[in-house]
Structure 1
Amino acid sequence: MKDLRTSFLDHIKKGLKGKPLPLRVLFWDGHEYTFDEQPLVTMHLRSAKVLSRLLMGSALDVIGEGYVEGTIGLDGRYQDILAVAEGLGDVFPAKKPKGGIFRKHHATHSKSQDAEAVQYHYDVSNDFYKLWLDHNMVYSCGYFKTGTEDIDTAQEQKLDHVCRKLHLQPGEKLLDIGCGWGGLLTWAATHYGIQGVGVTLSEQQFAYAKEHIKREGLTDRVEIRLQDYRDIPERDYFDKVSSIGMFEHVGRAKLGEYFQVINRVLREGGWVMNHGITAGQQDDEDGHHSGSDFMDKYVFPDGEIPHLWRLVWEMAGQDLEVLDVENLRPHYAQTLIHWVQRLEARKAEAVAMIGDKRYRIWAIYMAGCAYAFWRNWSALHQVLAIKQTKEALTLRPWERRYQYQEDSFHRADPDWGDL
């Protein structure tokens, strides 16, 4: 009868089917095994229990959890670690539970549950986010024109890209759902002359954004509320609505209600920009794929990522006519790489703030997400829509040229640097 270690190694060799795996494995008792003459990654397995869990499947979840909890050690660059984890994920894939697509529907996405989930992720501390975000404190995908910009430039370009797409005009009222630390509203008020309202469920973001708006001298033009988007009063109407990196927390079962609220607060002919992460493949919508358990446990409790088709379907169901769709998948890969590089550069300060374990969660989560966007496991779509009028004759541009200030064409893979 084979021992556990032999079963583990034989399973990998059989599953690889001759494909390379630049991995060296160090076992808890001093034994080691190398799958490649030039291994790029060393994995320390610190107990036999880890082998048992890997043999049960979902290698990405097991490796992620083991790394965070300290039962697995990983040496190597993030990009190599993640490539090896992908290879092991093919050998030990996630097993789809009974119930299939209903697995993630246990989340009710009540107001209290959503507030708790948001506060878990976003209320780590404002000082922690300051370590690695850009100077505008924008925690969402940047926008790159060449791929070589620094994160400050990329985020300013993203803020301006959103404002141009919404065709913001002086005096218009803009609602920003999930306003974060107030970066978009500050930019829109300063550069486009709008009147703005931002809502967030994060208490720390709320406090920071209010103080930031006050510092910028914009209190007469921008209001920040600690408020669920569903509680926006009936009397409030807006010319434009932005939702940047928020709808991932809504839940698929609540998407219709979410867009119904947006329709309610928009004036006839008003525009909405929904910017958010979407599933890379249609069958990823069930919420159970490699890495999903790790994300649900350590990063985004109750997060649900729909495919683009569902997003467009739900918008149309609430009389929001889609005008423009743009996939910024490579932009988010590059944004996350910048974040990890900046976090690693401030590691000592970050660990002092949040501890070793939580640091490992953030580092592997963001590096893993960069890899997921790079590999097309996830996407990022900006969807621009308009509230249909009774006459269905709402004026809109004939072409997209108004969104861009100059023509350019640059194409390259994300730059991982030394990560």
Structure 2
Amino acid sequence: MNALSHLAASLVDRLAVPIALEWPGGRAGPANAPVQLKLREWHQLAALLMGRIGSVGNAYVRGELDIEGRLRDVMDVAAELAHSPLQTAPPTPWTRVLRRARSRRLHQRHRDAEQVRFHYDLSDDFFALWLDCRRVYSCAYYQNPAMTLAQAQEAKLEHICRKLQLQPGQRFLDIGAGWGGLLLWAAEHYGVQALGITLSRDQHAHVQRLIEQKGLQGRVEIRLLDYRDLPPTERFHRIASIGMCEHVGMANLDGYFVQLWQLLEPGGLLLNHSITAGSVHSNPMGAGLSEFIETHIFPGGELVHVSEQARSLSACGLELLDAENLRPHYARTLWDWSLALESQLGRARELAGETAVRAYRLYLAGSATAFERGWLSLYQLLASRPDGNLGTGELRGAQCGYPFNRAHMYREPPLPMFCGAGQATSV
């Protein structure tokens, strides 16, 4: 025990952010430190000293230790203790076999539905506390650093629609449509015939209500449906997959892009927007961080490196046209969500319970830190299904409507902003 106490005191002295650390029978660090950790068990001190941040987070969620302080400071301490959680060594062949077997087991239809509902059906009112007014639950796009969260989310919706070059009358599919932000934006601003699918009962009911309130019946449809159950006879001019690949599983990735190829009209465009692994080998993050997320937030979630996504969609007959890294945009988005949640913790506990609130406090701030430090990334990949006609498009050989330049993505005038002026945007 004395050796552990000595190591704890030495660790506290080395940290860049001062912390006050208490454990059974001892303490270290200045009493007025900006971060306060109060441990109730000796094994928690051992986990802390070994950099097992996921284990420390689990204990916090269970109420077995307390953390006080500004979350930015808390996460700076956690990042220092974890060092770099990126596992850069390639997995062994046996490890790859085990991962694929586990991925297949986790991503059967019934398990995917259970896993999605575990997360997204927690409480609509809870998510509404800290998302923007459209409840867009994916990386925002801060074209201007002064943008509010709501403005940046609208800019993201517009950015996606411009990349896809949506036109009135086109059939548009939104896979994993969430609370309908993109689906409704595309229908209202671009006149498309829009279909969204989701496995979340709460999200499905919410979007159905919005369709009725806005009088969009006949133009917009939302289905409670697994992507694998979309009829192969249906075809779409444009497809968006926003925050969906994370739930597909690496074992199903090729099958997913094959399905999108089949659903896409020849010459059509696909935009895949998803979180990607920081390691080129798609290794889970170390220090117990990936396990924490899977246990408390996204069961069954799996990330691959962007190079693996590019390989997969290309192997399935899609042509990669444009890749854009929005990593720091997601860090900013997550800090904005974190700030909004921190401002309403009492109401959040009433809606979701203490355990869920503790998990989401660490998840939002911890994920923001992971994106800032490059442990995770966020890519938008724009791809086409070439139609084989060399005369299609502005340039000979395009074989789709993509102009092979980015002028349409950044055209003037400035975007209209309709929602949520005045929200706080920094922590």
TM-score (normalised: structure 2): 0.88
> Contact 1:63–1:85 at 8 Å: present in 2 too?
no
Does 1:79 pair with 2:77?
no
| Partner in structure 2 of residue 350 of structure 1 | 348
- CA distance in 2 between counterparts of 1:92 and 1:265 reads 38
| Partner in structure 1 of residue 197 of structure 2 | 199
SS in 2 for 1:79: helix
- CA distance in 2 between counterparts of 1:379 and 1:286 reads 13
> Contact 1:170–1:193 at 8 Å: present in 2 too?
yes
Residues 226 and 296 of structure 1, relative CA distance in 2, 3 Å threshold: same
Query: What is the number of residues matched between the two proteins?
Result: 404
Deviation at residue 116 of structure 1 after TM alignment:
0.8
- CA distance in 2 between counterparts of 1:79 and 1:146 reads 23
SS in 1 for 2:331: helix
- CA distance in 2 between counterparts of 1:124 and 1:305 reads 22
> Contact 1:59–1:92 at 8 Å: present in 2 too?
no
Deviation at residue 252 of structure 1 after TM alignment:
0.8
Question: Which of the numbers 47, 54, 75 marks the counterpart of 1:53?
Answer: 47
Give 1:53's aligned amino acid.
A
SS in 1 for 2:206: helix
- CA distance in 2 between counterparts of 1:371 and 1:331 reads 12
Deviation at residue 95 of structure 1 after TM alignment:
12
Deviation at residue 48 of structure 1 after TM alignment:
1.1
> Contact 1:21–1:87 at 8 Å: present in 2 too?
no
| Partner in structure 1 of residue 164 of structure 2 | 166
> Contact 2:173–2:240 at 8 Å: present in 1 too?
yes
Deviation at residue 315 of structure 1 after TM alignment:
0.5
Residues 8 and 262 of structure 1, relative CA distance in 2, 3 Å threshold: same
| Partner in structure 2 of residue 43 of structure 1 | 37
Residues 92 and 365 of structure 1, relative CA distance in 2, 3 Å threshold: closer
- CA distance in 2 between counterparts of 1:382 and 1:212 reads 27
| Partner in structure 2 of residue 67 of structure 1 | 60
- CA distance in 2 between counterparts of 1:95 and 1:359 reads 32
Does 1:403 pair with 2:409?
yes
TM-score (normalised: structure 1): 0.90
- CA distance in 2 between counterparts of 1:403 and 1:188 reads 15
| Partner in structure 2 of residue 145 of structure 1 | 143
| Partner in structure 1 of residue 5 of structure 2 | 5
Deviation at residue 391 of structure 1 after TM alignment:
3.5
Deviations 1:388-413 (A, max 9, x none): 223454142031011112499xxxxx
| Partner in structure 1 of residue 245 of structure 2 | 247
SS in 2 for 1:140: coil
- CA distance in 2 between counterparts of 1:373 and 1:288 reads 12
Deviation at residue 20 of structure 1 after TM alignment:
3.2
Residues 100 and 71 of structure 1, relative CA distance in 2, 3 Å threshold: farther
Give 2:79's aligned amino acid.
E
SS in 2 for 1:372: helix
Question: Which of the numbers 19, 23, 28 marks the counterpart of 1:27?
Answer: 23
> Contact 1:161–1:403 at 8 Å: present in 2 too?
yes
| Partner in structure 1 of residue 125 of structure 2 | 127
Give 2:22's aligned amino acid.
L
Deviation at residue 101 of structure 1 after TM alignment:
4.8
- CA distance in 2 between counterparts of 1:325 and 1:93 reads 23
Give 1:42's aligned amino acid.
Q
- CA distance in 1 between counterparts of 2:98 and 2:35 reads 33
- CA distance in 2 between counterparts of 1:301 and 1:2 reads 39
Deviation at residue 126 of structure 1 after TM alignment:
1.2
| Partner in structure 2 of residue 232 of structure 1 | 230
Residues 334 and 83 of structure 1, relative CA distance in 2, 3 Å threshold: same
Deviation at residue 300 of structure 1 after TM alignment:
0.7
Does 1:289 pair with 2:282?
no
SS in 2 for 1:282: coil
| Partner in structure 1 of residue 330 of structure 2 | 332
SS in 1 for 2:353: helix
Percent pairwise identity: 39
Residues 287 and 405 of structure 1, relative CA distance in 2, 3 Å threshold: same
- CA distance in 2 between counterparts of 1:90 and 1:382 reads 28
Deviations 1:81-134 (A, max 9, x none): 111111111399999999645565423211111111100000011111111111
